[in-house]
Amino acid sequence: MKSVRRKVDPVSLELARHLFGSVVEAMGQVLMRSAFSPNIKERRDYSCALFDSQGRAVALGDHMPVHLGSMPATVARVLESLPPRGGEMVAINDPFAGGTHLPDITLVAPYPRWSDRPRFYLANRAHHSDVGGAYPGSMAPGAQEIYQEGIVLPPVRLVRKGKPDPDLLRLFLANVRTPGEREADLRAQIAANLAGAHRLEEMDHRIGKSKLSIWASAQVDYALRIVRTYLREIPDGRYVAEEFLEGDGLTEDSIRLRVSIRVRKGRVTVDFTGTDPMSRGNINAVESITRSAVYFAFRCLVQEEIPYNDGCFRPLDIRIPCGTILSARRPAAVAGGNVETSQRVVDVVLAALREALPDRIPAQSCGTMTNVTLGGRDPRSGAAFTYYETVGGGMGASAFGPGLSGVHTAMTNSQNTPVEALEQAYPLRVTRYALRRGSGGKGRHAGGEGILREIGVLSETEAALLTDRHLRPPQGTRGGGPGKTGQAWKIVGRSVRRLGSKVRFSLSPGQSVRIATPGGGGWGKPRRTVP
């Protein structure tokens, strides 16, 4: 690595950061603009990344943290078992092979496109709003095995000789509720990898192949040095915290997450010993998800722009006992581990770090992605539909100011689905959409407000909520107050029935579901007002 540093001057290093970043940004733009489903093109539930020939992440896009931190494990498994060669792209969604949950399908392609000895690999991951399984949307609570959550794709060649494999495509589409939408989104993922390859070709011609490889290694080395510098700012010591999930969709028993962080001269060990065993329900997380959440929490400590790549991950020694809720074994159901348990991992890691860095760690944000799934038959066409989205909440306040309102936080970086897009695509009507005033925690800096969102249905619909923070509110810090907990209701005429945080239910035409998401915690004691 020392020889690499000598060859790359600071100006070239910064230029390389932007160039490699432009590759994954171009991929993301093509995926967003080419996709068919609102979940990808409107909510932007996707991520793109660039890897070197050894499978090290060179550039991870500013997309979904829960995807990006786990994607290196996925690419490593692909390169180990079925490395894509010239003209091929490999698809995978198996959570126990480095994936996240089944709706997240990853597509890996070599660069150069037709080479059997790739210099880089391009990868993108997109959340498909249905991949089969027992319930529409493949996300509903109640599943007890992964086989109930949808079709499992080990590493398979989706593209051969530059074209989608028709047999594999037919097999996949025969196992989902919305085959037309799924095929269109898969083709958008193929297009995204092609866009990344085109951008790399331009860089090869302008900069040179050998220099590009040197720059890629230098980027990883640079990120590693910066992260190590920031880790040395954490005081030596042992920092412990606990957090809880509110049931697994089958019982309401609390599930404990426990972390111990040991710091000694910049060397950090994150140990989850003491965390509860894996659950019967579907909130189990695989190891790659837990690692992704830890990476995100520590990346938040870095207060300057650096390349997000493999170098950011190396300094952390992460220990996750196998068989716990944070390192589940096959065939555990895992759909909620990606979206809800990952949020709580961020909370517990930051809670432990708050003891070491009290002024740098903000109050807790909403702490849930608030997953909403609706599925049925569209009376306009007679075709099946599946609608999935996550609803934003309040961001925790910090020493720097109040928390933002109505945003996605921590492991999700998606957007709220626009009302117009939702109503055009599905037999649904948004009857209420507003900030949830008064839900943010009080403090010198107030927590952000949650969201009120009410969705009515125009046909018989199966619905599901997969959320958390209905019982334990996001906590404030430095004397700030907690945010309000989340709530949900089923609305039938004038009847309003309270719903749990993880529940399946049915809706008939004219009925609706109302969701109130948590607010963020406040920071600091409120200033006294002079009467």
Structural domain boundaries in the chain: 2-225, 362-531
Query: Burial of 302 by CB count in 10 Å (0-12 exposed, 13-18 middle, 19+ buried)?
Result: middle
Task: Tell me the three state secondary structure of residue 245.
Answer: strand
Scanning 258-396, the segments in alpha helix (DSSP H) are 287-299, 335-336, 342-356
CB 162 within 8 A of CB 87: yes
Scanning 35-70, the segments in alpha helix (DSSP H) are 38-41, 65-68
Task: Tokens 């038959």: give the residue.
Answer: 377
Name which of 71, 79, 17, 81 is nearest 49 in CA terms: 71
Q: Going by C-beta distance under 8 Å and a sequence separation of 6 or more, which residues neighbour residue 166?
A: none
Q: Measure the CA–CA gap between 465 and 493, rounded to whole angstroms.
A: 20
* Mean pLDDT, each 10-residue run in order, the chain (531 residues): 59 92 96 95 94 95 84 96 97 94 97 95 97 95 96 97 97 97 98 98 93 93 93 96 96 96 95 98 96 94 87 95 97 96 98 95 97 96 95 97 96 89 95 97 98 98 98 97 98 96 97 98 84 57
Angle CA 166–171–172, to nearest 5: 100
CB 481 within 8 A of CB 446: no
Task: Tell me the three state secondary structure of residue 498.
Answer: strand
Structure tokens at 219: 């980027």
pLDDT score for 63: 79
Q: Measure the CA–CA gap between 445 and 480, rounded to whole angstroms.
A: 8
Q: Is the pTM of this model over 0.85?
A: yes
pLDDT score for 1: 40
Scanning 300-427, the segments in alpha helix (DSSP H) are 335-336, 342-356, 419-425
* Residue 474 DSSP one-character state: P
pLDDT score for 530: 54
Which residues are bridge partners to 156 per DSSP?
A: 91
Backbone angles phi, psi at 293, to 5 degrees: -65, -40
Pairing of strands 267-271, 316-319: parallel
Task: Calculate the alpha carbon distances from 484 to 119, 391, 470, 518 in Å.
Answer: 50, 15, 9, 5
Q: Measure the CA–CA gap between 397 and 353, rounded to whole angstroms.
A: 16
Backbone angles phi, psi at 462, to 5 degrees: -90, 130
pLDDT score for 4: 44
Query: Burial of 168 by CB count in 10 Å (0-12 exposed, 13-18 middle, 19+ buried)?
Result: middle
pLDDT score for 65: 84
Q: Going by C-beta distance under 8 Å and a sequence separation of 6 or more, which residues neighbour residue 434?
A: 451, 452
Q: Going by C-beta distance under 8 Å and a sequence separation of 6 or more, which residues neighbour residue 197?
A: 109, 111, 112, 113, 122
- Helix pair 209-231, 287-299: axis angle to 10 deg: 80
